[in-house]
Chains A and B, each alone.
Chain A
Amino acid sequence: MKQLYYDVKKCLGCKSCEIACALAHSVSCELFSALKEEVLSLPRKKVFASADKNYPVSCRHCQEPKCVDACMAAALVFDKETGMVTHDKDRCVGCWMCVMVCPYSAIRPNLKTKLPLRCDKCKDKEEPACVKACPTGAILWQEVSEDITYGARSAK
């Protein structure tokens, strides 16, 4: 199972990943048309800054997801097969408990659609759109190593 990792030494805060993410989830997948769409697609990831490092943040698809525990409508579910936390928008009631409990601040509320914005690893595509979009290669798309230990996870 592949996961998105970020090299904070390389992130320059240009936010191209945010734009690419928003476009990948739009109808036209093209910048100028996407901005005119009725339901404006928003990025599922955000770039934050701390001291002098920048880091994009996206849903980690935790194996013990706090958001799933918090979801009162059982819209958020951990799918063991794909190893991803999925969201059922028909069940969602827009209570934002997931937003509140995510330890990574990886979920944002889309106030227009009343749905949470979270990374789905571009499940219908070959690889997440942000990976290609990053001009410095700060976004890595690679296999989660089998012997996972909580704590330091070194990305190659």
Chain B
Amino acid sequence: MSDLKQKSIDLATQEALKTAQDENIKTSWDRLELQQPQCGFGQLGVCCTVCNMGPCRIDPFGEGAQLGVCGANADTIAARNLARKIAAGASAHSDHGRDVAHTLSLLCEGHAHDYDILDVEKLKAIAQEFNIDINKPKEQIAKELSAKLLGEFGKQEGQLVFIKRAPKKRQQVWKKLNITPRGIDREVVELLHTTTMGVDNDYKNIINTGMRCALSDGWGGSMIATDLQDAILGGPQPVRGKVNLGVIKENQVNIVVHGHEPILSEMAVKAAQDPELLKLAKKAGAEGINLAGICCTANEVLMRHGIAVAGNFLQQELAIVTGAVEVMMVDVQCLMPALQEVAACFHTKLVTTSSKARFPGVLHVEFEANKAYEVAKEIIRLGVENFANRNKERVNIPKHEMDLVAGFTKEVVFQILGGRYRATYKPLNEAIISGRLRGLAGVVGCNNPKQTHDYFHTALVKELIKNDVLVLQTGCSAIACAKQGLLIPEAAKEYAGKGLQEICEAVGIPPVLHLGSCVDNSRILTAASCIIEEGGLGQDLCDIPAAGAAPEWMSEKAITIGFYFVASGVYTVFGASPFATLGSKNLTDYLTKGLEEVVGGRFEFCDDPLKMAKLMIAHIDNKRKALNLKPVMYYGRETGQ
């Protein structure tokens, strides 16, 4: 078995992997090894399984078949495959948004009494965007808004309402290209249609349609999820939390919540404090009930309640391997089927809650909004009752946990920069204009065992902040950097360049801001629009000195996010494994060069974090030049570099 340090830079992960090794428990790293070599046709994107005349492969060496049976070439095949992934990613995010909108509608009908509208101001702000008169009781506003929001999913014509948030120039770019999203579900359907046998054969057109679908996610499904979650569950505020496997406590009942939708995890937070359950726990010999999260749902409850994060994507099996998890409750997305087998090696009960995500033979307790608290309580009770079954000899909790600060949203940035009465983006814009801040970077995305776990994220972010780039993060990437201590204000002194340090000290923020879950990437779009509106940094999103990166991506959702950022004018770099498009030189060139002329943004693929930082910084510097901004105030850190 290869060196643990090669597998992850995170000490807790290394320790847990050693435990798994010793107990002969297989993890995703083991399964990756067994999968080698992975098929090159698949990796290059030139394997087509769309129709029954196939499956077809294009010979990338040019000697064998160059066309599928239908006549499709590598450009078409790779573009269609990529498009399907965009559609899948958009479906995941948008379906999440739909569930939130549906919850609001149930709330209005009195079928979701465990929820309330905690941020009425936010509700009203959204309602105004939908031209709803807010001089009414909140129940009425909510009712009209929920109908309008659900309507966004079924819209056939016109455009999604949140498109109006984007700068006018950007809206015009989309209109000219005919990629303004009309309706959330429609764009997914149309994109899938174009990828079926015998439809779109023009790779540039396929990408166009792909961009429209991605936009229906970023400015549609995801944005609805984020904003409505803020309205219902409360808008996040800066909050301190803890991250890594060490948050699992030996003397408490440990409940791990994993998946994506906070309509579930919020109830878990409440139920974990239920007095009846706490009494039961004490009776069982536990000091309390400890709730911890994995993946995006962890980020959601971290942002709003400071709940501890046990780990990111690649640590989901390892949380169970600690031997101290009584229940892992899951809803949707990023759930490894392997969880079932790992849980079976311990007393851990895996519980599914969504009819969309079932594991054969695993206990399923269907989560319904109209008995939300009851369901959460039932599941946590299972955990409390399971505490007695824990084998103390097999408990191996890596004693590593780190502090972090999370809870940054577009509203919070307004507030902390300008105070409650002069909420404004001016100080941020001025910091960039004056050169104290070089620019902004969004570093987001998943983990992938093909790369050293967490290494790329942290090496990239460290290099960016060293060069006075303020980094915005979401998802598993944020968790990775948090584990390495980058998300605390003290990190500015240790890692950031002088300019960024000054800002962090003045405002009291870390050099790396945690914006939330992966649907919260929409916060970046909204914030960027506010930056343009504030003025001084151009007129379109592509003018901002900023770049995006997904260094360790694995999910189709990451592809969709990449596309909606690129379509919104952002230079976006993907790490290690490029998209499966290298089998088509035309498509790869279009994505990494041609798209810039079309939408003002493009992709880049890079397999080294320091190189990636260089590329992003060079891009940011170019944007600064184009805006005729003063040169950057300080050059890197004052260590003589």
Contacts and interface: CB of A to CB of B under 8 A. Distances in A.
A6 to B, nearest CB: 13
B61 interface: yes
Interface in B290-319: none
Interface stretch (B33-41, B457-465, B558-566, B631-639): B33-41
Contact of B39 (A10, A15, A137): A15
A124 to B, nearest CB: 26
B60 A136 contact: yes
A13 B38 CA distance: 6
Which of B44, B60, B65 is packed against the most chain A CB atoms within 10 Å?
B60
A135 B64 contact: yes
Nearest to B63: A137
Interface string A131-152: 0000111000000000000000
B258 interface: no
Contacts of B57: 14, 135
Interface stretch (A47-55, A69-77, A90-98): A47-55
B200 interface: no
Contacts of B60: 12, 136
A15 B41 CA distance: 11
B37 A137 contact: no
A137 B61 contact: yes
A136 B59 contact: yes
A54 B63 contact: no
A54 B37 contact: yes
B63 A136 contact: yes
A133 to B, nearest CB: 11
B40 A12 contact: yes
Contacts of A137: 59, 61, 63-64
B61 A13 contact: no
Contacts of A49: 36-37
Contacts of A14: 39-41, 57
Contact of A54 (B40, B44, B59, B61): B40
Contacts of A54: 37, 40
Interface of A, secondary structure class, is loop
B385 to A, nearest CB: 43
Contact of A136 (B36, B38, B61): B61
Contacts of A13: 36-40
A152 to B, nearest CB: 23
Contacts of B39: 12-15
Interface in B25-73: 36-41, 44, 57, 59-61, 63-65
Contacts of A135: 41, 57, 59, 64-65
A19 to B, nearest CB: 12
Nearest to A7: B61
Nearest to B58: A135
Contacts of A48: 37
A10 B37 contact: no
B350 to A, nearest CB: 32
A142 to B, nearest CB: 16
Contacts of A11: 40
Nearest to A12: B40
Nearest to B583: A12
Contacts of B64: 135-137
Contacts of B63: 136-137
A47 B34 CA distance: 12
Nearest to B33: A49
A92 B356 CA distance: 52
A136 B39 CA distance: 13
Contacts of B38: 13
A94 B275 CA distance: 65
B369 to A, nearest CB: 46
A47 B65 contact: no
A47 B40 CA distance: 12
Nearest to B42: A14
A48 B35 CA distance: 10
A136 B64 CA distance: 6
B462 to A, nearest CB: 28
A24 B39 CA distance: 22
B48 to A, nearest CB: 13
A18 to B, nearest CB: 12
Contacts of B61: 10, 136-137
Interface in A99-138: 135-137
B282 to A, nearest CB: 53
Q: Which of A10, A12, A135, A136 has the most CB of B within 10 A?
A: A12
A54 B36 CA distance: 9
A49 B34 CA distance: 10
Of B57, B60, B61, B63, most buried by chain A (CB within 10 Å of CB) is: B61
Interface in A41-87: 47-49, 54
A12 B61 CA distance: 10
Nearest to A134: B64
Contacts of B41: 12, 14, 135
A46 to B, nearest CB: 11
A136 B57 CA distance: 10
B88 to A, nearest CB: 23
Nearest to B47: A14
A81 B620 CA distance: 71
Interface string B1-45: 000000000000000000000000000000000001111110010
A82 B63 CA distance: 32
B121 to A, nearest CB: 55
A135 B59 CA distance: 7
B39 to A, nearest CB: 5
Given A136-B61, A137-B61, 10 more contacts: A12-B41, A13-B36, A13-B37, A13-B40, A14-B40, A14-B41, A47-B37, A136-B59, A137-B63, A137-B64
28 contacts: A10-B61, A11-B40, A12-B39, A12-B40, A12-B41, A12-B44, A12-B60, A13-B36, A13-B37, A13-B38, A13-B39, A14-B39, A14-B40, A14-B41, A14-B57, A15-B39, A47-B37, A48-B37, A49-B36, A135-B41, A135-B57, A135-B64, A136-B60, A136-B61, A137-B59, A137-B61, A137-B63, A137-B64
10 closest A-B pairs (Cβ-Cβ)?
A12-B40, A13-B37, A49-B37, A54-B37, A49-B36, A14-B39, A135-B64, A135-B57, A136-B61, A136-B59
